[in-house]
Chains A and B, each alone.
Chain A
Amino acid sequence: MSIRFTTLVFSTLFASLFASVVCAGTSPVYTVEEIPMPPSKHQSMQIDGMDFMSDGRLAVCLPSGEVFLYEPATTNWQLFAEGLHNPLGLIAVSTNELVISQRPELTRVRDTDGDGKADDFEVVTDQFGMSGNYHEFHFTPVSDRAGGYYFALGTGSSGDGIRAIVRGKFEPRARPGRMHASTPYRGCIVHYSADGTTRPFAYGLRTPNGLGADLDGNLFVTDNQGDWVGSSKLFHVQDGHFYGHAASLVWKPGFKGEPLKTPANDLAKMRSRACVIFPHGTMANSPTKVIAIPPEAKVGPFTGQLLVGEMNKGRIIRVMLERVGGELQGACVPFFDGGELRTGCNRMAWAPDGSLYVGHSKHTWAGNEGLQRVHWNGEMPFEIQDMKLTEDGFRLRFTKPVDKAIAAKPATWPFNRYYYEYHVSYGSKPYDNGEVPVRSVTISEDGLEVTIALKELKAWYLHEVVVNGLKAADGTPLANDRIAYTLNRLLKDTPPEPLQTGK
Chain B
Amino acid sequence: MIDIYRVVSFVVFVGFMGCVGPAGFTAEPPTKAELEHGKKLYAAAGSCIACHMPDGKGQPNSIPPLAGSEWLNDTDRSIAISLRGLAGPVKVNGERFYSAMPPQLLFNDAELASILTYVNFAWGNDKQAGEIVTEAEVAKARAALPPEVYTPKTLLKAFPFKEKDIARRNGTYSFDVDDTELEFDTPVVYRTFMPGASPAAFAVALPGNQFYCWDAGESRLRYVWTKGGFIKGNKRHWSSNGKTVARFNGEPYYRARSSLVQAEDEELLTKTDNKLPIYDTTEAPDFPFELKGVDATSSRPRFLGYRLVDGYPVFRVGVGEHEIREQIRALTSEEGAGIERRFEVEPPVALTLKLTPDAKSKLNTSAGTIAADGSLALSAKQAAAFTVTILEREETPEPGPATEPAPAKTKGGAK
B406 interface hit (Cβ, 8 Å): no
User: Contacting B275 at CB < 8 Å: which of A159, A161, A281?
Assistant: A161
User: Contacting B100 at CB < 8 Å: which of A159, A226, A281?
Assistant: A159
The minimal Cβ–Cβ distance linking A438 to chain B, given in whole angstroms, is: 24
B46 interface hit (Cβ, 8 Å): yes
Question: A residues within 8 A CB of B238?
Answer: 44, 63-65, 86
Residue of B nearest to A312 (CB): B50
User: Contacting B189 at CB < 8 Å: which of A83, A86, A137?
Assistant: A83
Q: In the complex the two chains form, what is the Cα distance from A363 to B240 in whole Å? A: 5
Which of the candidate stretches B30-38, B59-67, B166-174 sits at the interface with the other chain?
A: B59-67
Q: In the complex the two chains form, what is the Cα distance from A126 to B215 in whole Å? A: 13
Contact A427 B98, CB 8 Å, known A130-B200, A163-B199: no
Task: Please state if A427 and B46 are interface contacts (CB–CB under 8 Å).
Answer: yes
User: Contacting A126 at CB < 8 Å: which of B45, B60, B200, B261?
Assistant: B200
Q: Mark B282-305, 1 if CB is under 8 A from A, else 0.
A: 101000000000000000001111
Which of the candidate stretches A169-177, A381-389, A486-494 sits at the interface with the other chain?
A: A169-177
B135 interface hit (Cβ, 8 Å): no
B99 interface hit (Cβ, 8 Å): yes
Task: Please state if A167 and B191 are interface contacts (CB–CB under 8 Å).
Answer: no
The minimal Cβ–Cβ distance linking B98 to chain A, given in whole angstroms, is: 6
Task: Please state if B241 and A121 are interface contacts (CB–CB under 8 Å).
Answer: no
Which of the candidate stretches A98-106, A211-219, A406-414 sits at the interface with the other chain?
A: A98-106
Question: B residues within 8 A CB of A29?
Answer: none
Question: B residues within 8 A CB of A102?
Answer: 191
- Among A65, A163, A281, residue most surrounded by chain B Cβ atoms (within 10 Å): A163
10 contacts between A and B (CB under 8 A): A105-B200, A120-B305, A122-B304, A130-B198, A131-B199, A164-B261, A165-B281, A165-B284, A364-B241, A430-B45
A455 interface hit (Cβ, 8 Å): no
Residue of A nearest to B315 (CB): A121
Q: Mark A90-124, 1 if CB is under 8 A from B, else 0.
A: 00000000000011110110000000001111110
Contact A163 B305, CB 8 Å, known A86-B242, A366-B62: no
Contact A65 B190, CB 8 Å, known A122-B304, A132-B272, A167-B198: yes
- Among B216, B261, B302, residue most surrounded by chain A Cβ atoms (within 10 Å): B216
A158 interface hit (Cβ, 8 Å): yes
Q: Mark A112-148, 1 if CB is under 8 A from B, else 0.
A: 0000001111110010011111110100000000000
B219-241 interface with A by 8 A CB criterion: 235, 238-241
Residue of A nearest to B270 (CB): A164
- Chain A: interface residue count, which band? 35 or more
B184-221 interface with A by 8 A CB criterion: 188-193, 197-200, 216-217
Q: In the complex the two chains form, what is the Cα distance from A164 to B245 in whole Å? A: 12
6 other A-B residue contacts (CB within 8 Å) besides A85-B190, A164-B271, A426-B106? A102-B191, A122-B305, A132-B199, A137-B242, A164-B268, A426-B103
Task: Please state if A363 and B149 are interface contacts (CB–CB under 8 Å).
Answer: no
Task: Please state if B46 and A281 are interface contacts (CB–CB under 8 Å).
Answer: yes
Q: In the complex the two chains form, what is the Cα distance from A83 to B304 in whole Å? A: 17
User: Contacting B303 at CB < 8 Å: which of A126, A133, A160, A362?
Assistant: A126
Task: Please state if B274 and A121 are interface contacts (CB–CB under 8 Å).
Answer: no
Question: A residues within 8 A CB of B192?
Answer: 85
Task: Please state if A168 and B235 are interface contacts (CB–CB under 8 Å).
Answer: no
Question: B residues within 8 A CB of A405?
Answer: none
Task: Please state if A85 and B305 are interface contacts (CB–CB under 8 Å).
Answer: no
Task: Please state if B45 and A281 are interface contacts (CB–CB under 8 Å).
Answer: yes
The minimal Cβ–Cβ distance linking B112 to chain A, given in whole angstroms, is: 13
Task: Please state if B280 and A165 are interface contacts (CB–CB under 8 Å).
Answer: yes
Task: Please state if A164 and B100 are interface contacts (CB–CB under 8 Å).
Answer: no
Task: Please state if B62 and A364 are interface contacts (CB–CB under 8 Å).
Answer: yes
User: Contacting A134 at CB < 8 Å: which of B85, B241, B279?
Assistant: B241
Task: Please state if A285 and B216 are interface contacts (CB–CB under 8 Å).
Answer: no
Task: Please state if A160 and B272 are interface contacts (CB–CB under 8 Å).
Answer: yes
Q: In the complex the two chains form, what is the Cα distance from A44 to B216 in whole Å? A: 25
The minimal Cβ–Cβ distance linking A486 to chain B, given in whole angstroms, is: 16
A236 interface hit (Cβ, 8 Å): no
The minimal Cβ–Cβ distance linking B90 to chain A, given in whole angstroms, is: 11
Task: Please state if A7 and B51 are interface contacts (CB–CB under 8 Å).
Answer: no
A153 interface hit (Cβ, 8 Å): no
The minimal Cβ–Cβ distance linking A141 to chain B, given in whole angstroms, is: 16
Q: In the complex the two chains form, what is the Cα distance from A85 to B192 in whole Å? A: 6
Question: B residues within 8 A CB of A10?
Answer: 60
A254-302 interface with B by 8 A CB criterion: 279-282, 285
